[in-house]
């Protein structure tokens, strides 16, 4: 009997023949060995159909928690969500040095698709992996690190679920820390003029641009040796639940119902931005509740091209047949050496475009993709794009190395699906 599955954004679905819920590494190995086609799936927060399983789906919701702690090295079972991981690390006096703003993903899904936060001196989540345990297509359980099966390690940290099923990841964590958070209004041109300086002096900086205006929200998060001074429970509820989710959700529904209001509503939202300053433990600052559903495309572009890309995008937005209600998000990351990381070999700016669920987005996303592709942009593996292996190979120096390792560990394509066929060939 088919078991229907749909992702969070309702942009991907599948009807696998069955779903397995293994509760041990041996059970994962048995399920993989017995299947002719199998896909691991996480929490369904990828916007692409990367997690779609044509036959057997592996849901690791019974394989969670911390398996081992050795100083700052923490071995985590693959099905553990970031929300759960953050709480467990906090109890150990540890933390991840950088996170994105959503914590519903599993650690395996987040790292496999290249999830990242922001910080000019910091990489994505996968850069914190020091070792991994995987189950290969034949059911063999293997370990890899920089010293042990290094090619597999370079490929598997952002492996798209194409090489095997991750059983555990060992993360290099840091002592728990407090962030001083400051969110303030700004203007796009001024922020762009100051952005190189901001990213050099702030630990974590990003901005959200309302694309039918020049209004932005600038977010600066910096480490401090002070006690937390969080928002009051009432203010946190009011600002995040009432305003950012409730009121903004209503605005989005109005825009969807009456499309001609979209541009005006976007400008109004930009004009209502106010300052917010507080201190809290790191993961409570990094993570923001997201209950308004949207679709998203994100590209990683060379840092030096950020200004030109945004200026071209501003021109493209003005020419769209439809309005855009959700802001554009801009973040940064340090270059890394992971073969299919979107920041491989270069310091990177990330630009993410969004649209409220049910509103037109194809023309907008296509225009953005053309602009980003022209400067060597790389699409986020878990967010909407139309690229294929033919156009992706030239922007990844180790693309063929990845394909070689994939052919070695999964020669019959047991882990493939339609998405992987498109992006990897």
Query: How does pLDDT run across 202-245, given as a tens digit for each residue?
Result: 999 999 999 999 999 999 999 999 999 999 999 888 888 988 88
Dig out the tokens for 330 from the structure: 């801009």
SS3 of 316, please?
A: helix
Residue 241 burial (CB count, 10 A): 13
User: What pLDDT score was predicted for residue 1?
Assistant: 61
Q: Specify whether the CB–CB gap between 282 and 178 falls below 8 A.
A: yes
> Measuring CA to CA, which residue among 224, 231, 176 is closest to residue 203?
224
Phi, psi of 8 (to 5 degrees): -60, -40
What's the CA gap between 86 and 139, in Å, rounded?
30
Q: Report pLDDT for 243.
A: 85
Task: Give backbone dihedrals phi and psi of 348, rounded to 5 degrees, phi first.
Answer: -130, 145
CA atoms within 13 Å, Cβ hemisphere of 398: 21
Residues 96, 82: Cα–Cα separation, whole Å: 10
pLDDT digits (tens, 9 = 90+) for 75-110: 999 999 999 999 999 999 999 999 999 999 999 999
For residue 58, the surrounding DSSP H or E stretch is strand 56-59
pLDDT digits (tens, 9 = 90+) for 111-168: 999 999 999 999 999 999 999 999 999 999 999 999 999 999 999 999 999 999 999 9
Q: Is 372:351 a contact under the CB 8 Å cutoff?
A: yes
């Amino acid at each position: 009997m088919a078991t229907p599955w749909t992702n969070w954004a309702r942009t991907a679905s599948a009807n696998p023949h069955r779903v397995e819920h293994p509760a041990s590494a041996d059970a994962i190995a048995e399920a993989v060995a017995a299947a002719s086609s199998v896909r691991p799936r996480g929490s369904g927060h990828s916007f692409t159909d990367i997690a779609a399983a044509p036959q057997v789906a592996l849901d690791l919701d019974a394989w969670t928690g911390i398996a081992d702690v050795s100083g700052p090295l923490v071995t985590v079972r693959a099905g553990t969500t970031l929300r759960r991981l953050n709480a467990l690390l906090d109890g150990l006096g540890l933390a991840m040095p950088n996170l994105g703003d959503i914590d519903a993903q599993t650690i395996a899904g987040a790292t496999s698709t290249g999830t990242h936060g922001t910080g000019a001196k910091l990489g994505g989540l996968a850069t914190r992996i020091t070792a991994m345990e995987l189950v290969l297509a034949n059911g063999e359980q293997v370990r890899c690190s920089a010293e042990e099966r290094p090619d597999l390690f370079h490929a598997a940290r952002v492996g798209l679920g194409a090489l095997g099923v991750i059983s555990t990841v060992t993360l290099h964590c840091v002592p728990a820390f407090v962030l001083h958070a400051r969110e303030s209004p700004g203007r796009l041109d001024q922020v762009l003029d100051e952005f190189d300086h901001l990213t050099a002096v702030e630990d974590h900086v990003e901005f959200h641009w309302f694309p039918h205006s020049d209004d932005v929200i600038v977010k600066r998060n910096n480490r401090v040796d002070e006690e937390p001074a969080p928002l009051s429970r009432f203010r946190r509820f009011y600002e995040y639940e009432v305003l950012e989710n409730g009121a903004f959700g209503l605005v989005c529904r109005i825009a969807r119902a009456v499309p001609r209001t979209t541009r005006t509503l976007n400008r109004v939202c930009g004009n209502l931005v106010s300052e917010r300053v507080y201190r809290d433990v790191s993961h409570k600052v990094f993570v923001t509740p997201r209950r308004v559903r949207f679709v998203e495309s994100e590209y990683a572009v060379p840092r030096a091209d950020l200004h030109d890309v945004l200026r071209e995008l501003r021109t493209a937005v003005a020419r769209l047949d439809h309005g855009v209600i959700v802001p554009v998000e801009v973040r940064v990351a340090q270059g890394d050496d992971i073969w299919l990381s979107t920041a491989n070999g270069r310091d990177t700016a990330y630009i993410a475009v969004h649209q409220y669920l049910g509103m037109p987005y194809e023309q907008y996303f296509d225009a953005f993709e053309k602009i980003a592709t022209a400067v060597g942009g790389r699409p986020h593996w878990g967010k909407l794009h139309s690229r294929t292996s033919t156009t992706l190979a030239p922007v990844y120096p180790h693309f063929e190395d990845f394909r070689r390792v994939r052919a070695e560990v999964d020669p019959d394509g047991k882990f493939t699906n339609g998405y992987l066929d498109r992006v990897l060939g």
